[in-house]
Structure 1
């Protein structure tokens, strides 16, 4: 097949995150299977307009908002070229059914519903417009097409908060991590937090919890790995014992995670929480809040702990982390590795190929 993968950013964009990992891991597998794949995306400063990597052609155009009309125009001029389009929604989809042939199979990929996050990142009027595009406009535009979600939480949110009525298939994230080789688990309690440094990840809650945790465990160390618009504000208020590493190469990141006792996510919601799976593959359990996506990625009592959302999440996180450090034992390591082993990018790519061919991909991970 000739496949267009349309995503807001590519994996080398300075603001790339889990959605970009998902799109790239699948695109490269489509190409490896013999399909002709074009990855259409925005262009960050310094990036070339065209590129090829692992058999995938990259076409880059536009910025944060201008990428949407530019991509639609590009596809309109090539509307007869593609057999299938993977239209990845990062808050707002690309509305590709408007410009491709009716017989072109379009799959809208939804990582998580952004309605509540628009208000965190955008002024009120623009947040309302974003919710209108994500809800009624998207629901109408994709009404004749199947959709893809990465977790049961996302399916539920699409049904309840967006009013999505068409078929939604679950295609989960896989996991691929660098193996750290020989490493020694930290001799002192060590926490690690992975992810983009953006407002809805709420990394500040972890910083708020550190002082209380260090009263009980003065040797506690916290490693934060990631980059993003919140980095400067977080770096300006780092408490003692916290190291903000910024970007790390995959090998260095894996080694740091493998040494940790716990992985922490304070996010207000995810599609899945790819960092949870990456940590689990290295035998590290996660402490997170009981929110969309993370409640699917973390199995309480087996691969981590889920904390209730409340009016004082900072205190709740400190208490939850203290309890987790007390309860932690080797069974969590074993359970984490077994849980992560159930997820494969190859399996996810196969499910999407079946959907693009119009065939039933069979049961998803939640049914196995």
Structure 2
């Protein structure tokens, strides 16, 4: 069922836009949704903060950008902007990066709001802010958000985030899963996989404290003796780049570790595609977009068994998960030994490409579009039934939740059979296990 978006007036509110110097996965998610929803007929305004040199107003691919304020001042300014247009919006996608925009405060109750949560930030506030401000951030993310969105809904990107908003934020309201998309998987070379040489490892990440990039240096230092030709490529920029550069030099790892900083997309893709392994040392994610983008190139990932990454990496199938408190070196060593076996390597590469193929920005947009249009028709994003269901209608079997499920059962209940409650994996993929999208 394709949603009808013609003329729908939608605001996508996000802390940054994809061209902001500190943009990351959350900005990619918001932008991919915004431009695809606009292409399908919605009138989309992307409301965000303004970095130095950015235009306050512009249109890109049919999306009208509205930029105002800085890191903190953007929040009250966005609320004022929303209040001034409260009668001219049909729905709002309110993206939370630790702190949401609390847009329901400025909107009529009939305007559905979807608060997008990539991951819970409670443990991260203390890494970036003094104690009093970290406590205030946790207060806003938890109790204030629970009260603000109680008549609306959360959208999460993975089963990990679904559990986290329930267990750590105490959120008991409507919650729907709309995952990230991914690049189209690269085709297998016609003459087979190339021979492996010295180990090539890559990490694509923002250089910020919770990514724990120093653990990758520990790993490289530990493995360099056994693998003198080992190379680790760290791709990405951030406030820790200078400190990391100094640490690489201090440890004598200049011949082993290359810090690439920011690179264009084609250069990043080439570095990932030629790697044996992609790595992540993060203490937790909402998902793991870089993991799936590596999988699209047939590159498995070694990461920690933490929120988000345990969803993006299928342990033993598309990569390997290390216990949260263990060093990565042992798991990387085990992974390299498995990759030495050509048949095992071929199996891993095929599984990675298949897994990446499950995630597509067009399908992500379709899932969000169906939720938004059903919520606009119902006059609310909320629902009493928190389950996602596997249902059959005619010859089609699908996974439905929230207002999409409610509308389907209300309008076609006589022809719809409820088969069962969806598993977490089915809820993530949007289709039954073993079925096709």
What interval of TM-score do these two structures reach, taking the shorter chain for normalisation? over 0.9
1:24: which partner in 2? Answer: 31
5+ residue gaps in structure 1? none
Within the alignment, does 1:2 sit opposite 2:9 as a pair? yes
SS at match of 2:225: helix
8 A Cα contact 1:193 1:265, kept in partner: yes
Instruction: Judge conservation of contact 1:185–1:258 (CA < 8 Å) in 2.
Output: no
* 1:38-57 deviation digits (Å, cap 9, x = unpaired): 00001111111111111001
Give yes or no for contact 1:98–1:141 (8 Å, CA) kept in 2: yes
- Say if 2:117 is the partner of 1:110: yes
Q: Name the counterpart of 2:328.
A: 317
Pairwise mapping of residues 62-101 of structure 1 onto structure 2 (< 5 A)?
A: 62-101=69-108
C-alpha distance in 2 between matches for 1:47 and 1:227? 19
Please say if residues 186 and 296 of structure 2, whose CA atoms lie closer than 8 Å, have aligned partners that are also in contact. no
Structure number with bigger Rg: 2
Q: Distance in 2 between matches of 1:216 and 1:265?
A: 21
Deviation by residue 1:151-170 (Cα, 9 ceiling, x = unmatched): 00000000001010111100
Structure-2 residue corresponding to 1:206? 216
Q: Which runs of 5+ in 2 are unaligned?
A: 1-7, 340-344, 376-402, 409-425, 433-437
Cα distance in structure 2, aligned partners of 1:237 and 1:185: 33
Write out the 4+ residue segments of structure 1 that deviate beyond 4 Å after TM superposition: 177-186
Change in CA separation of 1:337 and 1:108 when aligned onto 2, cut-off 3 Å: same
Corresponding residue of 2:281: 266
Deviation at 1:105, TM superposition (A): 1.0
What secondary structure sits across from 2:278 in the alignment? Answer: strand
Structure 1 pair 252/227, CA: closer, same or farther in 2 (3 Å)? same
CA contact (8 A) 1:180 1:258 kept: no
Q: 351, 360, 366: which one pairs with 2:404?
A: 360
Paired residues of 2:279 and 2:301 also in contact (CA < 8 A): yes
Tell me how far 1:351 sits from its aligned partner. 1.0
Does the 8 Å CA contact 2:184/2:357 hold for their aligned counterparts?
no
1:231-262: CA deviation from partner (whole Å, max 9, x where unpaired): 11111122231111111111111111000000
Q: Distance in 1 between matches of 2:245 and 2:46?
A: 34
Q: Is the 8 A contact 1:49 1:61 kept in 2?
A: yes
* Aligned: 1:326 with 2:340: no
Number of aligned pairs?
A: 364
Residue 311 of structure 2 is matched in structure 1 by: 296
In the TM superposition, residue 180 of structure 1 has moved relative to its aligned partner by 10
SS across alignment from 1:28: helix
Compute the displacement of 1:120 (Å): 1.2
Query: Take 2:242 and 2:330, find their aligned partners in 1: how far apart are those partners?
Result: 27
Partner of 1:47: 54
Q: Does 1:215 align with 2:225?
A: yes
Structure 1 residues 68 and 186: CA distance shift in structure 2, 3 A? farther
Q: CA deviation at 1:364?
A: 3.2
Shift of 1:319: 1.3
